Structure 1
């Protein structure tokens, strides 16, 4: 998902830095940003910055309009909930397939990742459960274990970073990090026990719980 280190350009670096800043909430949803501000912030000329902005437009994280400029994407509650309903179905299917096909070695490695996540939650005093992209993301690893490339493409195409943005934004709800980690552990237990029905049900319940949390947080805004 990230260009090979030997071929990385300055544009690649700015793209990655700006994407992370958006996903991690360093820019608010709907915030207007200017090319000059971004160029100063990342210490880069306009050419690589514009390329990075163009790529982030393609991922749906930035919107660029004439006479308006660049804004960070902001999803309404209805659009976000629609994404979560689709995500619930697809990730439930991924869990079912992972329980049937995920190698034990991959399950063991995923268990180690959850132990790392537990340490990070403890270090934040239970306030944050932020997962980096790709192999450091529990949901990404589950989908990999499903062994279905079409499903991977659906789950981790353009919507992936939008979902990560809102997962990060709402993962700071009181008690949510610990609850999410417990749910991840239960899902992995079901996969290791080769119980496809239970694995799917637990994942769907996990994402439904996240969706309910989002609805509640939107009502508080």
Structure 2
């Protein structure tokens, strides 16, 4: 049986490559991306280069004012707080709704297994399954608009997560343990407890990243967890 291969446009392919370079740090904060440079590097026409840039601007990975050169976003402490709080509002309510029916998404279960199975120890390897864990929770409520709203944040969320991991701000074992506990609370119908743990889970990452960017961390940065041995 021959598998189906999805066709990818040139614009999407260029955007995907640029996106991966932003996430890997190859394209750093504030770095300029001109239509001419991209057209030359990828051997495409300028309209194609422009469309690729516009995709990443829409995802929040590039910033471009009117008649200005696009640059990789330079997230500051307050932007980080905005991003994390926006996702917390959506995810917390989703957890409450999943707990009402005790619906544990298998995609989230598998994502956490994938984190547990990581062998390399490279912090950045955690980002993909971690992002998949949270996205699986959102998608489990089967509301197209909620999923669309969440995905409008995904580029910026992933960028924050990459920085958290590259700076070694969170222990993988703690991420794994808190994910597992969230799933157990959903299964037990404890929506409010799951939402509270999520706030702690995201708040710790948020405030540690704020501090790493030169801001003043809130108390969430040092919240202890009872899920790991002392």
Using the size of structure 2 for normalisation, the TM-score is 0.78
Match for residue 135 of structure 2 among 140, 159, 179? 140
* Counterpart Cα distance in 2 of 1:52 and 1:215: 30
After TM superposition, give the deviation of residue 117 of structure 1 in Å.
1.8
> What is the aligned residue count?
211
Taking a change above 3 Å as real, the CA distance of residues 44 and 171 of structure 1, as seen in their structure-2 partners, is same
Structure 2: segments with no counterpart, 5+ residues: 216-230
* Counterpart Cα distance in 2 of 1:175 and 1:215: 11
Structure number with the higher helix fraction is 1
Taking a change above 3 Å as real, the CA distance of residues 70 and 201 of structure 1, as seen in their structure-2 partners, is same
After TM superposition, give the deviation of residue 14 of structure 1 in Å.
1.0
Contact 1:91 1:204 in 2 (8 A): no
* Counterpart Cα distance in 2 of 1:142 and 1:130: 16
* CA offsets 1:180-217 (integer angstroms, 9 cap, x no match): 22211211221222321221111111111111211221
* CA offsets 1:43-72 (integer angstroms, 9 cap, x no match): 544342221112222222222356752211
Of residues 143-152 and 200-209 in structure 1, the stretch that sits farther from structure 2 once superposed is 143-152
Which residue pairs with 2:128 in the alignment?
Answer: 131
* Counterpart Cα distance in 1 of 2:58 and 2:124: 32
SS at match of 2:117: helix
Match for residue 188 of structure 2 among 176, 181, 193? 193
Structure 1 segments (4+ residues) deviating >6 Å: none
* Counterpart Cα distance in 1 of 2:67 and 2:120: 44
Counterparts of residues 72-111 of structure 1 (less than 5 Å): 72-101=72-101, 103=103, 106-107=105-106, 109-111=107-109
* CA offsets 1:91-146 (integer angstroms, 9 cap, x no match): 11111112234645x33x432221112223x313556521169xx61110011123
For the aligned residues, what is the CA RMSD?
2.8
Which residue pairs with 2:164 in the alignment?
Answer: 170
Contact 1:23 1:166 in 2 (8 A): no
Structure 1: segments with no counterpart, 5+ residues: none
Which residue pairs with 1:156 in the alignment?
Answer: 151
After TM superposition, give the deviation of residue 9 of structure 1 in Å.
1.4
Of residues 23-32 and 204-213 in structure 1, the stretch that sits farther from structure 2 once superposed is 23-32
Contact 1:97 1:147 in 2 (8 A): no
* Counterpart Cα distance in 2 of 1:43 and 1:132: 33
Counterparts of residues 33-44 of structure 1 (less than 5 Å): 33-44=33-44
Contact 1:24 1:165 in 2 (8 A): no
